[in-house]
Structure 1
Amino acid sequence: MKKIILAVVLSGALISCKNSDGNKTELDDSAITESLEDGSGKTETNYVPIDSDEALVAASLMAAPEVSRDGCTVIGYNMAGEFVTFKEGDNEFIVLVDDPKKSGFNSACYHKSLEPFMARGRELRAEGKSGPEINEIREAEAKSGKLAMGTPGATLHIYFGESDRYDPATNKVEGAHHRYVVYLPYATAASTGLPENPIGSNHPWIMNPGTHRAHIMISPLHKN
């Protein structure tokens, strides 16, 4: 039988790490509906903006491996703009929820050994330091031993997409993608055998080589 699909074209925000700029775009209160009709009947998926702490946490947890989501610690800015701990966890992961006041959707899940590094960045950003200033300060503190850089090989998982494409039935953000960052402080192309630039869209490469922020970037191919 003839299959009719009404699809909404997405504009994805491709980023290498957590975006720190931009304001959340205004969204109306109506749901964006995608309908799929085939020989077995009609199915509707209602995509809505993320407008509650519960939805914010549920969607952000998609950054974590599925088997680990229940045990994650969850932190970040709530809908009121306060930095809070939404949930205390008991495993090795910390989930940083999407900042609801910034455009798009971008959550992260990282190994708890990276928390001193992540927390120091948030602290310096709150003091008004710029990106280059934060990098310079943390580089000096890491080299002096003042700042712990976590377990070598500790991983950051990023889940990013459009914030008005949230499906409350699955807690997923429709069309969202994953990216993975494996931290290896001071690693280089020579020490890892990885190139400093990707040779393909889904090939691993080393970013910020030779610095405290050196990490392997892995961007899986998009399903579509």
Structure 2
Amino acid sequence: MKKLFAFLLVTAPGFSCFAQTTVPTPEIQIKAAVMAAPADKREGAAVYGYTGDGNLVLLRKGTNELICLADDPKQKGFSASCYHKDLEPFMARGRALRKEGKSGQEIFDAREQEAKSGKLKMPKNPTTLFSISANDEDFDKTTGEVKNGYIRSVVYIPFATAESTGLPLKPDGPGLPWIMDPGKHNAHIMINPPRPATATK
């Protein structure tokens, strides 16, 4: 995450502000972030979110296997995700490289090389990520309510292929699984339910 060189702190109920971007309270960030997780996993999930100066910090310790990332207030739209704790080395490495200013392709290439060399430890078992997204106007930063959210799932199976799983390389229909980045360190099964007309694009 790039360092913000200037920020304005505004005193208002439930908010701080950096670089003209409002940041919900930790409680609101937690409430919205765990909406990405299955209902029975929400209460015990660890949650990372943002401080008023834009730093990513642990907002709540977890008691189960899920880690959730709150919406980044600097990005357009609402987006939160929850993933299995065994994916944390992969996710943390991506955040570190992004903070260094690396491009998406550079991040992919670095993690691919490090995973193949064994430096980056990828999960041995299939591990899941859940994400929820919505339009800006559908996320209430004062209550944490998200309307018209779109939830999708990803199952990481490093280095798996279409042949090893029997999955197609593209979806054969709405909501049907397919494999993306086959044979790569981040090979994963995509499960995208039909998108409601009101959901974010």
- Interval containing the TM-score (normalised by the shorter chain): 0.7 to 0.9
Distance in structure 2 (CA, Å) of the matches to 1:120 and 1:87: 21
Aligned counterpart, 1:67: 40
Give, in angstroms, the shift of residue 199 of structure 1: 1.3
Identity %: 51
Aligned counterpart, 1:136: 109
Structure 1: gaps spanning 5 or more residues: 1-48
Task: Decide whether aligned partners of structure 1 residues 158 and 187 sit closer, same or farther in structure 2, where only a CA change above 3 A counts.
Answer: same
Paired AA for residue 75 in structure 2: K
Give, in angstroms, the shift of residue 167 of structure 1: 5.3
Aligned counterpart, 1:192: 165
Give, in angstroms, the shift of residue 173 of structure 1: 1.0
1:90-169 matches, cutoff 5 A: 90-166=63-139
Question: Which SS does the other structure have where 1:173 is aligned?
Answer: coil
Distance in structure 2 (CA, Å) of the matches to 1:146 and 1:80: 32
Larger Rg, first or second structure (1 or 2):
1
CA contact (8 A) 1:53 1:79 kept: no
CA contact (8 A) 1:163 1:173 kept: no
TM-score under structure 1 length normalisation: 0.73
Give, in angstroms, the shift of residue 65 of structure 1: 1.2
Distance in structure 2 (CA, Å) of the matches to 1:156 and 1:50: 24
CA RMSD of aligned residues (A): 2.0
CA contact (8 A) 1:92 1:111 kept: yes
Runs of 4+ in 1 over 4 A off after TM superposition: 167-171
CA contact (8 A) 2:170 2:178 kept: yes
TM-score under structure 2 length normalisation: 0.81
